[in-house]
Structure 1
């Protein structure tokens, strides 16, 4: 069996708004290659090229400082820069282009001791477990696997689902005593996940099924990302090949962006 590909996480940061990455998050992600995306969401009437000319040097300087912070803890880090009219579409596009497994949406995290992992189905559980194992390596983070069952009749199925996820984590080398499981029954999964996240420091959510490669922030993942106060790690589903993406009728997103790979010093503008 071939080994899984190296993991990679996209970390978007609006440096012009003074957004930064807490040191607790930097330390936790030190073992995972990171792509730092310095971005700025701009008004529809502003051309990305205009924004880049006006703010590009400042964003590059701030991004370079942040890059140094990650490098100081031994993280493999690269950088991108983008001025965009739709930040989530840009995050999705760069995630695909950089072959990232997940997107980390940074919120304040003064303490990082526990992770809540919302599991919707058994699809992609092994993929999620591999990424979590990489994240947990070298940390003392505890993990709570969490599932919201539709009704009492589904509670048993939810318990079995979390046991499947727990087994996958243990098989990846995560100590069993670091893993808790919790099933709740409620008509509003989003509300229950947000309430449970209040007792944890990092929320991990993933797609419920494999999807075309472009989509990351669909349905509940997008709502959770917008409403929680915790950092959120949104894990992509297992990837489909580019040919499959084309076969499914997917085209490039409609966002307009001035985008720059700061490592290679190349720029492009996309309509």
Structure 2
């Protein structure tokens, strides 16, 4: 069984827009090493070095204040600061640099009691189960495993997929009575996921196979984060593209 210290979650925060991390999220992720990425998206015509010179001190102060919030609950927290023209590309690059297993796209989370885990047919359910068990440690969060089948003929396969995920979670030490499963049949997975997320407090989505990981992160996960009121945890794969950003890093225990 994996240890919480085997995982790491990237938490991007727009520090100069007053974005904060909800206390419920801080508490839920306290046992997992967190990389706080303070970022600022700058216009294409503005050099990132210029933005760093102009706003760097203020951004670092805001990021340091956020760090103390995590340290107050004994979280192992590392900080990074970036000024960038493409925030999603920055999230991807820092996730790779810091060996993060997931990226948490923030939304308000006044209550954190239940998790919806949207599982596609082409994701690694064992990997999702290991990370999800880490998130669930020390919490009373209830879990709903959710799959959208393309048509009625795929319903049974979807149920089998969720049973595989359920078994993997139980094998990781999650109590079976905390796990529910639901398969729906519809042509629009994004719509169904958003409707189901209305009844939950945290949405977990996994990236699909390597050939489309980049597309899924930039498209579906981002659309879900924009259209749901829940925080979205994207369990990621491996990808890396160059970026023209200015980045500074610091770490703390």
Q: Secondary structure at the match of 1:195?
A: helix
| Root-mean-square deviation (Å) | 5.0
Superposed CA deviations along residues 123-148 of structure 1, whole A, max 9, x for unmatched, are 31100000000000000000000000
Q: Is the 8 A contact 1:67 1:79 kept in 2?
A: yes
Change (3 A) 1:27 1:42: same
**Does 1 or 2 have the higher relative contact order (CA < 8 Å, sep 6+)?**
2
1: distance between equivalents of 2:58 and 2:244?
A: 39
- Kindly state the Cα deviation for residue 223 of structure 1 after the two structures are TM-superposed: 2.2
User: Is the Cα–Cα contact under 8 Å of residues 3 and 134 in structure 2 kept in the other structure?
Assistant: no
Per the alignment, do residues 79 and 214 of structure 1 end up closer, same or farther by CA in structure 2, a change over 3 Å counting?
farther
Query: Relative to structure 1, is the Cα distance of residues 248 and 22 closer, same or farther in structure 2, using a 3 angstrom cutoff?
Result: closer
Aligned to 1:150: 150
Whichever structure has more helix as a proportion of its residues is 2
* Post-superposition CA distance 1:36-69 (Å, at most 9, x none): 0000001011111111111111111110110000
Is 1:58–2:58 an aligned residue pair?
A: yes
TM-score (norm 2): 0.90
Q: Secondary structure at the match of 1:247?
A: strand
Distance across 2 between alignment mates of 1:240 and 1:91: 10
Q: Quick check: 1:25–1:109 contact (8 Å CA) kept in 2?
A: yes
Offset of residue 212 of structure 1: 8.7
CA distance in 2, matches of 1:99, 1:228: 27
How many correspondences in the alignment? 250
Distance 1:107 1:71 in 2: 21
1:66–1:215 Cα change, 3 Å: farther
Contact preservation (8 Å) 1:103, 1:235: yes
1:186-222 deviation digits (Å, cap 9, x = unpaired):
1100000001001100000011224598777144223
Q: Is the 8 A contact 1:109 1:230 kept in 2?
A: yes
CA contact 2:4–2:134 (8 Å) conserved in 1 = no
- Asked if 2 retains the 8 angstrom alpha-carbon contact of 1:216 and 1:235, the reply is no
After TM superposition, the score normalised by the length of structure 1 is: 0.84
Task: For 1:62 and 1:123, locate their aligned partners in 2 and report how far apart those are by CA, in whole Å.
Answer: 36
Q: In the alignment, is the contact (CA less than 8 A) between 2:48 and 2:83 conserved in 1? A: yes
For the Cα contact (< 8 Å) 1:145–1:181, is it kept in 2? yes
Structure 2 CA distance, aligned partners of 1:17 and 1:195?
Answer: 29
Gaps of 5+ in 1: 250-270
User: In the alignment, which residue of structure 2 is the partner of 1:232?
Assistant: 232
Aligned to 1:131: 131
